[in-house]
Amino acid sequence: MLLKYFYDQPLAHASYLVGCQKTNEAIIVDPGRDIEQYLKAAKKEGLRIVGVAETHIHADYVSGARELADRVGAKLFVSDEGPADWKYSYVNDYDHQLLKDGDTFTVGKVEFKVLHTPGHTPESISFVLTDKGGGADQPMGVFTGDFVFVGSIGRPDLLEEAAGIAGSAEPGARDLFKSLQRFKELPDYLQIWPAHGAGSACGKGLGAIPSSTVGYEKLFNPALQYTDEQEFVDYILSEQPEAPKYFALMKQVNKEGPVVLGKADLPAKLDIDSLADIVATEMVVDTTAARKFAVGHVEGAINIQPKYIAMWGGSLIDYDRPVYLISSSHDLPEVVRIMRKIGIESFAGYFDADEVALRGFNTAVIPQETPQQIADRYKSGDVELIDVRGLSERNEASIPGSQHSFLGKLLHNTDQFKEDKTFVFQCRTGGRSVIAASIAQRAGAKNVINLSGGIEAWKTAGLPVISESDATVSAS
């Protein structure tokens, strides 16, 4: 058996190729939409991709299951658990097997046994793998999807938080508690292979290690330490990260079946002479690095760096309108790949970033000021400080008197920036706050500043912060 791990850092997404070297067949578990990586890996190993297995209907990226089924005829292995509203509606167009708890399926000599593990979503399943081609009669590991992560578990509130299904969070949490009791009965030696790592919004406190074991998680995963159901429910529903706006759309797309991309082309390069007119009427996304953008950019463009597109592009970009980009030719393929992976498919074109700079369009700036430069002005009321981090981050430590305006919802709260004030934007280290400052500029703010280094630099400078309980937190 061959097991190959794929990790997409911008989306904190893990997927897997499992190959049987006796039959030269392979299956992909929880694939992303960018399937060329799987095709290349399979070809290199002399394998043919014959199947795709999904643990649930994903909310944070467009699945590659349909793409693989359409492109190479891979058979779909998907959940048939959960209520009718959470069934895959496109699979009848392809060879497929609907899976219930206790079902098994094989790829070559590799066997997968299905466990229904609801909680994160009602239809969530896990796959227990046994390598029978190697003579084993006991399982090796389990693909847990968004059920159990390294150091965390999948959040049960996404259907309510992102998809707007009222009253689903607490029942989901109780289902999750029951699923975890079943997980604890698995052999300690089993490896666990989750679908996400650190940075994913599908849970809180995810670890950065690619895999773990059932036994290790039973000992050290905070969520698995609870024996009282109500205490667990209170824990798992508290302080979850804000769900990106686009999650609700991804659920719908992956349920109904995403558009098959094939070998999609990159957006066309646009005539630089049209830039001024376009930026005056359309949202233009500049993917330049934050510090370079702050030094000089097109007035009215908003900044979203490639590493932030998955998290913030899905909340800030209008899915109903073609996207205009300012990007270097080097960054463009990755920018487009990530956007397509979160369901952004319509591109009006792009302006070459180097050409934009050479033609003198980068006339707007976002001053970068240190905490020491800001502190006295802030104390005197000369500037208004806006914290754009998530609520859980802010509850841990915030600058006294700062206003909270979460970045993911900032585009719907821009009236405040039309006032004649100087706005200082702040996040943890100074990256997200540049995005926020660019949004404020686009909305008409005349005086914006980015707090260089964010609240971390503020604390390092020995300046005061407070916690949720309004107790002063040590700057150290």
Question: DSSP readout, 258-288?
Answer: PPP-SSPPPPPBPPGGGHHHHHHHS-EEE-S
* Phi, psi dihedrals of residue 79, rounded to the nearest 5°: -70, 140
Ordered alpha helix ranges (H), 112-211: 158-161, 169-183
153's tokens:
């578990």
**Token pair of 171, please?**
């029942």
Instruction: Provide φ and ψ at 116, rounded to 5°.
Output: -80, 115
* Residue that is written with structure tokens 């919004």 in the block: 201
- Give the helix ranges, DSSP H, for 167-246: 169-183, 214-220, 229-236
Q: What is the pLDDT of residue 290?
A: 94
Q: Please count the CA atoms within 13 angstroms of the CA of 239 that sit on its side-chain side.
A: 9
The SS3 call for residue 375 is: helix
pLDDT value, residue 476: 30
Instruction: Tell me the C-alpha distance between 325 and 58, whole Å.
Output: 27
pLDDT value at residue 162? 63
Cα gap 46→50, rounded to integer Å: 13
Instruction: Please list, in sequence order, all residues whose beta carbon lies within 8 angstroms of the beta carbon of residue 420, skipping any fewer than 6 positions away.
Output: 446
Q: What is the dihedral sign for C-alpha 215, 55, 335, 440?
A: negative
Q: 363 exposed, middle or buried (CB, 10 Å; 0-12, 13-18, 19+)?
A: exposed
| Cβ atoms of 68 and 35 closer than 8 Å | yes
| CB 315 within 8 Å of CB 244 | yes
Cβ atoms of 254 and 63 within 8 Å: the answer is: yes
Could you say which residues of the chain have pLDDT below 70?
161-164, 469-476
Reference 243, options 347, 120, 396, 398; nearest CA is 120
Hey, what domains does the chain have and what are their CATH numbers? 2-256 (3.60.15.10), 272-358 (3.40.250.10), 368-473 (3.40.250.10)
Strands 25-29 and 472-473: unpaired
Closest CA to 368 of 475, 448, 260, 461: 448
pLDDT of residue 465: 95
Burial letters for 264-286: b for 16+ Cβ neighbours within 10 Å, e otherwise?
eeebeebeeeebeebbeeebbbb
Question: What pLDDT, on a 0 to 100 scale, did the predictor assign at position 242?
Answer: 83
